[in-house]
Chain A
Amino acid sequence: MRRSYLFALLSGLLILLLLLHLFNGSWDWDFKTLLKSLTDFDISNTQEVIFREIRFPRTVTAILAGAGLSIAGLLMQTYFNNSLAGPSVLGISSGSSLFVALAVLSGWELLNTAHSLVFAALIGAFLFSLLILFFSAFVRSAISLLLIGMMLGSFTSAVIQVIQLGTHAERLKSYLLWGFGSLQQNSFEQLGLFFLVFLLACASLIFLIKPLNLLVLGEKQARILGTNIALNRMILIAVASVFAGLITAYCGPISFIGLAVPNVVRQLYRTKDHRYLLLGSALFGAITLLICDLVIIYVEPFLLLPLNAITALIGAPVVVWIILKRF
């Protein structure tokens, strides 16, 4: 009962925020224009251009990025059995940042197109996930693993700073802007690939539900109950890397969402069943990022807030709350 109510409540909230975000401040616009801009686009119509190229991509990006980061966070938290794990904490996003920085700042023109940026971010995320996995084989303590993740983050940002020294000012500017995190860098045309990869990653989650539910008891017991840990570990890391890398490529490194959302969802749902936790994290993650972006939109006339500042302002207190609750 509680779960159905929660699902209805979160869905309702998501739809409300979606509309608010999509039509912000201009309620005289209607769905007909929106539909027409998506299906039968007329480039001379300003309204349609704004809808198609600015509003619609931004809303869709907010929903996908919020949902994806939260799912990636949940996967890592369950696998490492650590509620403070997440793509940004364990250095997965740092990996993406490093490879994007290499691509953007090196000025290697071949690497500078949008698709190669995505590719670079995915490779970075996957390599750093494997690195964390490698370390996790040696350090059993959750705290040590988090510290290693933080060190990976510091190390990569130092490397990036060194690369920045010898870079052309224009390229540096575009990299720094990317680093603030933003939901506005996607055009309508780029959404296609983003959406497709996102859907594929979501589809593969079906195979992870049962292993995730058993992993709650730890790797050994899950294996004894018949789980193929080696295979599922690879699927899990690949899926989490795809989510984290994809979103980092399109929106820049967004911190705290992946860490905070699954914790709130666990408290809301009070279950360890990952059918509900995955769905809840996706819904609540989308809601959270829509709210963050709405704040940016509303204060835009007065000051230009970077997305990463907002997620940290909301996320950091949540994380402190989690720590206070647990220890």
Chain B
Amino acid sequence: MLHFANAHIGHTHLLCQIPELELAQQGLYSLVGANGTGKTSLFHSILNEVPLLQGTVRLEGRSIHEMDRQERARTLAFVPSRFNGVQHLKGWDYVAMGRAPHTNFLGQLNPEDRQRVDQVFDQLTISYLKDQDTSQMSDGERQILSIAQAIVQEAPLILLDEPTAYLDYPNRIRVLETLAQMAQKENRCIIQSTHDLELALCYSEHFLVLRNKQLKLLSNQPIPLQRETLLQEAFGTDFSSPKH
């Protein structure tokens, strides 16, 4: 589905080098690695916010960086780690912005667009947020709305930048459950970057580990990944894990 070919990632100097990697299966992927290893840069490179130093990234066989804007927006969705809300912007209107890559130059929503938006609110059981002002919601509610926006965008690949970083424990579980469900039901490839390894081990099928300028794919199924293995892969052998 997502395919890296000799991709060199970084702003001015090389942060990560991916000779050949294919994310063949749909599912929830967790991108882990120490601070400063380039998780955010990897996302920005896939999103074409920062050009690749070298190589290509393909989605379903087509180079992401050669698509035009609208097309790329229909293929790729991005959820920032925090949406602070905008005064007077209602929940429904915020989610409906995800339809932008599918609408005409005036941004008019047709009945199918509206139906799709309503459907997502039902699916995530958050219909009570439709008419609320996004600036007055809790962080958890806003995070779910951001995910809803990415879902109505109908992109096969969704990137989330630390979606649980600002959330309390119940909301973290809620967000991860939602993501895992979406990946399963709608056959999408969802990649979240995270530092929350324990929860990620519970919910994600695959891990992408960034360390020493290398990106490594580890599978959490059918055989569950050991916590110690993951910690070692991500942070090295000199890392001492917390005592129980």
Closest Cβ of chain A: how far from B56's Cβ, in Å? 19
> Is there a chain A Cβ closer than 8 Å to B93's Cβ?
yes
Number of A-B contacts (CB under 8 A): 59
Are B78 and A224 touching (Cβ within 8 A)? yes
A22 to B98, alpha carbons, bound, how many Å? 47
A92 to B70, alpha carbons, bound, how many Å? 33
Closest Cβ of chain A: how far from B41's Cβ, in Å? 14
A269 to B100, alpha carbons, bound, how many Å? 22
- Could you mark each residue 261-272 of chain A with 1 if its beta carbon is under 8 Å from any beta carbon of chain B, else 0? 000001001111
Interface segment among B102-110, B179-187, B222-230: the answer is B102-110
In the complex, what residues of A have CB within 8 A of residue B86's CB? 216-217, 272
> Is there a chain A Cβ closer than 8 Å to B160's Cβ?
no
Closest Cβ of chain B: how far from A216's Cβ, in Å? 5
Closest Cβ of chain B: how far from A10's Cβ, in Å? 18
Are A216 and B69 touching (Cβ within 8 A)? no
Give residues 258-285 of A contacting B (CB, 8 Å).
Answer: 266, 269-273
Also in contact, A214 and B100, with CB within 8 A (given A221-B80, A272-B93): yes
In the complex, what residues of A have CB within 8 A of residue B93's CB? 271-273
Are A206 and B106 touching (Cβ within 8 A)? yes
Also in contact, A272 and B89, with CB within 8 A (given A209-B106, A210-B107): yes
In the complex, what residues of A have CB within 8 A of residue B87's CB? 266
Q: Which of A224, A227, A266 contacts B47 (CB 8 A)?
A: A224
> Is there a chain B Cβ closer than 8 Å to A36's Cβ?
no
Closest Cβ of chain A: how far from B244's Cβ, in Å? 41
Are B88 and A225 touching (Cβ within 8 A)? no
A26 to B162, alpha carbons, bound, how many Å? 68
> Is there a chain A Cβ closer than 8 Å to B51's Cβ?
no
Q: Select from chain A the residue with minimum beta-carbon distance to B94.
A: A217
A31 to B74, alpha carbons, bound, how many Å? 56
Q: Which of A209, A224, A228 contacts B107 (CB 8 A)?
A: A209
Give residues 171-219 of A contacting B (CB, 8 Å).
Answer: 206-207, 209-210, 213-214, 216-217
A223 to B76, alpha carbons, bound, how many Å? 12
In the complex, what residues of B have CB within 8 A of residue A271's CB? 88, 90, 93
Are B89 and A216 touching (Cβ within 8 A)? yes
A321 to B72, alpha carbons, bound, how many Å? 43
> Is there a chain B Cβ closer than 8 Å to A220's Cβ?
yes
> Is there a chain A Cβ closer than 8 Å to B49's Cβ?
yes
In the complex, what residues of A have CB within 8 A of residue B47's CB? 224
In the complex, what residues of B have CB within 8 A of residue A209's CB? 106-107
B: number of interface residues (CB 8 Å):
27
Are B106 and A210 touching (Cβ within 8 A)? yes
A181 to B46, alpha carbons, bound, how many Å? 52
> Is there a chain B Cβ closer than 8 Å to A226's Cβ?
yes
In the complex, what residues of B have CB within 8 A of residue A207's CB? 105
Also in contact, A227 and B103, with CB within 8 A (given A272-B93, A273-B93): no
In the complex, what residues of A have CB within 8 A of residue B83's CB? 217
Closest Cβ of chain A: how far from B99's Cβ, in Å? 9
A206 to B86, alpha carbons, bound, how many Å? 23
A: number of interface residues (CB 8 Å):
22
A223 to B72, alpha carbons, bound, how many Å? 10
Closest Cβ of chain A: how far from B109's Cβ, in Å? 11
Are B103 and A225 touching (Cβ within 8 A)? no
Are A225 and B89 touching (Cβ within 8 A)? no
Are B73 and A224 touching (Cβ within 8 A)? yes
A166 to B107, alpha carbons, bound, how many Å? 54
In the complex, what residues of B have CB within 8 A of residue A223's CB? 49, 69
Are A210 and B49 touching (Cβ within 8 A)? no
A45 to B222, alpha carbons, bound, how many Å? 96
A84 to B74, alpha carbons, bound, how many Å? 34
- Could you mark each residue 88-124 of chain B with 1 if its beta carbon is under 8 Å from any beta carbon of chain A, else 0? 1110010001101101011100000000000000000
- Could you mark each residue 209-242 of chain B with 1 if its beta carbon is under 8 Å from any beta carbon of chain A, else 0? 0000000000000000000000000000000000
A207 to B106, alpha carbons, bound, how many Å? 7
Are A213 and B107 touching (Cβ within 8 A)? yes
Are B100 and A226 touching (Cβ within 8 A)? yes
A272 to B107, alpha carbons, bound, how many Å? 14
Are B97 and A226 touching (Cβ within 8 A)? no
Give residues 33-88 of B contacting A (CB, 8 Å).
Answer: 47, 49, 69-70, 72-74, 76-78, 80, 83, 86-88
In the complex, what residues of A have CB within 8 A of residue B74's CB? 226
Are A213 and B69 touching (Cβ within 8 A)? no
Write 29 A-B pairs (CB below 8 A) sorted by A numbering: A207-B105, A209-B107, A210-B100, A210-B103, A210-B106, A214-B100, A217-B83, A217-B86, A220-B49, A221-B78, A223-B49, A224-B47, A224-B76, A224-B77, A225-B98, A225-B100, A225-B153, A226-B69, A226-B70, A226-B73, A226-B74, A227-B100, A266-B87, A266-B88, A270-B88, A271-B90, A272-B86, A272-B88, A272-B93
With contacts A216-B86, A217-B86 known, what are 13 further pairs, Cβ within 8 A?
A210-B106, A214-B97, A214-B107, A221-B78, A221-B80, A223-B49, A224-B47, A224-B78, A225-B97, A225-B101, A226-B70, A227-B100, A228-B69
